[in-house]
Amino acid sequence: MKKIRLAIAGVGNCASSLVQGLEYYKGRNEGAFAGLMHARIGDWGPSDIKIVAAFDIDRRKVGKRVEEAIFAKPNCTKVFQSALPVSDIVVRMGPVLDGVAPHMADYPDDEAFRPSNEEPVDVVQTLKEAKAEVLVCYVPVGSEEAGRHYARACLEAGVAMVNCIPVFIASDPEWAEKFRHAGLPIVGDDIKSQIGATIVHRTLTRLFGDRGVPLDRTYQLNTGGNTDFLNMKALDRLKSKKVSKTESVQSQLDERLDSRNIHIGPSDYVPWQDDNKVAFIRMEGRGFGDVPLELELRLSVQDSPNSAGVVIDAVRCAKLGLERGIGGPLEAASAYYMKSPPKQMRDSVACELTDLFIRGNDTRRAVGEETSQAVAGE
């Protein structure tokens, strides 16, 4: 069976978990696929994804084979699959653009990006030569120029896109139309984790509403020690992330909270946490008789593996879209797998429509048609 030919932009912690996972699940019984929402999508299991190209800007990764680069500093995620097959895929120098925050120069080498002096390759040509079918965008938060550079490259090279970062492409009508016109599917924007702070916060927010408890105020505070958290110490780079996470939770409310009463976003960089992300969620509402009700929750996860299984699903859905000749955002898959999709839905609705799309018996609703009826009828 033909494998899905995948390119990766940004060989950081998330890419490391993804590449390890492709090997980890190889040959395993599908009944033992812990950590995956779908053992198979279409004809493909996790190990039916093949890395054919990779781009990064760090001098410790550029020029190395992918299976070596994913373990290079400043990557610090858990190693759960150290034995990887030798490949001939070398990490190529991508465009730096706005991908490196200036303040990273003030931090130790093992914690921060160190750009290579090599000249960037032609991304479009590299994708074409590799015969890539799908590109996963993992460039750092706040990399608006870099994210759009890879989106343009996908359009020119004829490659589908999975946009895992909060640079708004699939959810931007102008960009969505470009992918639609090119006949290329896109799943975006800003990947949800499997059991992460945002999906838990969304679920609890909807639960409050469904159980008749008005939510008066809430916060979500996050700490971590990977380059993602270090990168977001620059508040100008954090802006899109805060918008993405906040709107993801607001979308589950019947009535939006005033901005004063909702605070969501990365809070601080704690180096010794490495890839461990800790979230603190507080919710204050009113129950029967307007009696106060308070909920506090602490969630601790390994940040990068927590999203890798979701990305594996999104990549396979993008490939399905390619095979079915669908251009533009896959709205159901985007709503299910991403924080900032073109159309927000309840997660139960997004799950149902995504499964319909995977089975191939209701493609229209999966790409945006009639979804309003499904949301209203939930």
Q: Residues 299-355: pLDDT tens digits? A: 999 999 999 999 999 999 999 999 999 999 999 999 999 999 999 999 999 999 999
Collapsing DSSP states into helix, strand and coil, what is residue 50?
Answer: strand
| Cis upstream peptide for 189 (omega within 30°) | yes
Within a 10 A sphere around the Cβ of 351, how many other Cβ atoms? 15
Whether the domain at 4-192+305-366 and the domain at 197-302 fall into the same CATH topology: no
Q: Mean pLDDT lowest for which of 1-5, 247-251, 316-320, 333-337?
A: 1-5
Which residue reads 């018996």 in tokens? Answer: 361
Q: How many helices and strands (H and E) does the chain possess?
A: 13, 11
Q: Residues 141-165: pLDDT tens digits? A: 999 999 999 999 999 999 999 999 9
Q: Mean pLDDT lowest for which of 30-34, 263-267, 288-292, 319-323?
A: 30-34
Sheet holding 292-302, edge to edge: 262-269, 215-224, 276-286, 292-302
The residue ranges of every structural domain in the chain are 4-192+305-366, 197-302
CATH annotation of 197-302: 3.30.360.10
Cβ burial 62-79 (10 Å sphere, 16+ → b, else e):
bebebbbbbbbbbbbbbe
Q: With beta carbons less than 8 A apart as the criterion, state whether 272 and 192 touch.
A: no
Q: With beta carbons less than 8 A apart as the criterion, state whether 91 and 64 touch.
A: yes
Residue 28 has pLDDT above 90, yes or no: no
Q: Residues 119-142: pLDDT tens digits? A: 999 999 999 999 999 999 999 999
pLDDT confidence of 250, banded at 50, 70, 90?
very high
Q: What is the mean pLDDT of the chain?
A: 94
* Percentage helix, strand, coil for the chain under 3-state DSSP, each rounded to 5: 40, 20, 40
Task: Tell me what pLDDT residue 10 has.
Answer: 98
Query: Domain 4-192+305-366 belongs to what topology?
Result: Rossmann fold (3.40.50)
Task: Tell me what pLDDT residue 377 has.
Answer: 36
Task: Tell me what pLDDT residue 351 has.
Answer: 97
In 3D space, the residue among 179, 149, 182 whose CA is nearest the CA of residue 167 turns out to be 149
Task: Tell me what pLDDT residue 274 has.
Answer: 98
Q: Residues 31-78: pLDDT tens digits? A: 778 889 999 999 999 999 999 999 999 999 999 999 999 999 999 999
Q: Give the H or E element holding residue 293.
A: strand 292-302
pLDDT confidence of 378, banded at 50, 70, 90?
very low
Residue 375 has pLDDT above 90, yes or no: no
In 3D space, the residue among 310, 304, 311 whose CA is nearest the CA of residue 78 turns out to be 304
| DSSP assignment letter at 360 | T
Task: Return the structure tokens found at 65.
Answer: 């084979």
The DSSP string of 95-143 is: P-TT-S-GGGGGS-GGGS--B--SPPP-HHHHHHHHT--EEEE-PPTT-
Q: How far apart are CA 89 and CA 66, in angstroms?
A: 6
